[in-house]
Amino acid sequence: PISNAGTDAMACKWQQIPIGTTPNASYTYLWSPPGLVSNPTLSNPTGFITAYGPPTEFIVTTTEPSTGCFSFDTVLITPKPVDTSLQVTGKTDYCLGEPFSTILSINNTSSAVQWFDNNTALNGANNTSYIPSTTGDYWARYTQLGCTDTTRSVHFDVFPLPVADFSINKDTQCVSSNSFAFTNNSSISDGTSLSYLWTLGDGTSSVAASPVKNYPGKGTYSIKLLATSIHGCKDSLSDIVYVMPNVNPAFEFAKACTNRPTNFSNLTNENGSPLVKYAWDFGNNTSSILKTPVPFMYDSVGTYKVSLTATALGCEANALTLVKDIRVNAIRKGITYPSQTVSLSINKLIWALFDSAGASYSWNPALQLNNSKIKAPNFFAVNDVKYIITITDKNTCIANDTLQMLVLKKPGWYLPNAFTPNGDGLNDIVRPYLIGMKGLTKFSIYNRLGNLVFSSVREGEGWDGTYKGRKLDSGAYVWILEYVDTTDKKVTQKGNLMLIR
């Protein structure tokens, strides 16, 4: 038999092309490849191609069954030069919110183009290129050289963004004791896992989901949480925490006396804290919230515990307290000294009775004295003066003593009617004062038996209450004063004197 496979042809993919010749009932036919023909046992089936590329050779074998003789013939079906390639320019996965820049394109001149997402035709997508913007499988159907075909499918993903979120147990804490707990509340809509990166504002970082951080120094720290999805999509959130400085409480006070204001000086180092609250406790059920309290008075002698509590902003749980003991001393009662009488123009040493190491003295008014700030100044007799002697002891306790100085100005004589020779420096010696007279002749003192116990002819010399070195008893004595007046007349005066011990 003579085989006839037909005429070579060009075809579109899957296009049915007639091949072979008119059948002869005496023969049998068999085509190869059998899967690319409509019926491999017909003499004239249709053939087709399933891919673009080199020509496909179809072979027919024609057999005469009675003799077993056969022959071969071939025909070529060549694919039309249709380009079904699909080019992808850019990446195929995005995070939501990114600008889409990926271009899908076909490299041919087409009479008709339609882009699809899965099996859904995209409205208006009829150009040779397309920019996808949602998750899907994209491909194009087009017509070229009379052939309608499709490109491969490209999967495109748009992944959701995570939502970074966190809370802080307390955003303002104290430098001396702080523990910032960051609770991670981040999420993502597709429920996939997230990874985390914390930057903690002091050069350190953490990848823990919810870290805890202690800061050793005061300051303002910027906290940032970066949440990243398994697809690399990111979101971040920032916040600020404050580490506040604590204070160093300190105070001083002057030595204290009862019923006298005591000043308390607040020397607290606030270390730059914007707000510090103070609480004073003076140890006797009284208190103050002033930074520097008003001068405070204690009414009882004793030792009191004074405390100062300083509370800085952010350090309320770490308030610091300093306690000191203060000794409150008693103020000595003022003394009124016996008055002293001196002659006009006399320079006399006078003194305060209180004597203690560290004491200070102030005579007021500061008149007719060589120095008003010493214990024993010299008095210049001009006028009568009543001195208030303010004496401050080593504990700063103040007492006011009083001394009246009397100055004799009229011509004549003066003798006190009593004296107290007790060694206190006041009225220890009795002596006559002559004002304007020409001179003393004699000054004598007799006991009640008439015995002479003292005699002097020197003006200014006096009796100290002794006789031959022995202290005489208290009692009444008689004095005789002899002097020369301004007319050169000798004058004698007599009187009584009381010795008091």
Amino acid at 158: V
Beta strand residue intervals within 126-282, DSSP E:
129-130, 136-144, 147-150, 154-159, 166-168, 172-174, 180-184, 194-199, 205-206, 212-213, 219-229, 234-244, 251-253, 256-257, 264-266, 276-281
Amino acid at 393: D
**What does the alpha-carbon distance between residue 407 and residue 265 come to, in Å, rounded to a whole number?**
47
CB count within 10 Å of CB 24 equals 14
Q: 246 φ, ψ to 5°?
A: -100, 170
**What does the alpha-carbon distance between residue 55 and residue 421 come to, in Å, rounded to a whole number?**
156
CB count within 10 Å of CB 238 equals 13
Structure tokens at 37: 């023909």
pLDDT of the chain, 501 residues: tens digit per residue: 999 999 999 999 899 999 999 999 999 999 999 999 999 999 999 999 998 889 999 999 999 999 999 999 999 999 998 888 899 999 999 999 999 999 999 976 667 899 999 999 999 999 999 999 999 999 999 888 888 889 999 999 999 999 999 999 999 999 999 999 999 999 999 999 999 999 999 999 999 999 999 999 999 999 999 999 999 999 999 999 999 999 999 999 988 888 888 999 999 999 999 999 999 999 999 999 999 999 988 989 999 999 999 999 999 999 999 999 999 998 788 899 988 888 788 898 999 988 777 889 999 999 999 999 999 999 999 999 999 999 988 878 889 999 999 888 877 888 889 999 988 777 889 999 888 788 899 999 999 999 999 999 998 899 999 999 999 999 999 999 999 988 899 999 999 999 998
| Helical (H) or strand (E) element with 75 | strand 69-79
Using alpha carbons, select from 432, 435, 341, 338 the residue that is nearest to residue 384: 341
With residues binned 3-state (H G I as helix, E B as strand, rest as coil), the percentages for the chain, rounded to 5, are 0, 50, 50
Residues 440 and 434: beta-carbon distance below 8 Å: yes
